[in-house]
Amino acid sequence: MAYIREDQADIRVSLNGTPFGDSWNEAEGGNLEADSAKARAGGMGREVSAGGPASRGDLTVRINHSDVVATWLPVFESFVGWGPIRVTLAWLNPDRTPTGTTTTRRGTLKAVNTPDMGGGADVSQFEIVVDCDELAA
Residue pLDDT, tens place only, 62-117: 999 999 999 999 999 999 999 999 999 999 999 999 999 999 999 999 999 998 88
Question: Above 80 in pLDDT, residue 1?
Answer: no
* Distance set, CA 58 to CA 34, 38, 97, 110 (Å): 14, 25, 28, 9
Confidence tier at 122 by pLDDT (50, 70, 90): confident
Provide the 8-state DSSP code for 97: -
Helix, strand and coil content of the chain, in percent to the nearest 5, comes to 10, 55, 40
End-to-end CA distance of the chain: 27
Give the span between the Cα atoms of 15 and 84, in whole angstroms: 6
Query: How crowded is residue 132: how many other Cβ atoms within 10 Å of its Cβ?
Result: 23
What whole-number percentage of the chain has pLDDT above 90? 80
Give 26-60 pLDDT, tens digit per residue. 999 999 999 999 998 887 889 999 999 999 999 99
Confidence tier at 127 by pLDDT (50, 70, 90): very high
Question: Where do the structural domains in the chain lie, given as residue ranges?
Answer: 9-29+57-132
The pLDDT score that the predictor gives to residue 73 is 96
Question: Please, what is the average pLDDT of the chain?
Answer: 93
The pLDDT score that the predictor gives to residue 100 is 92
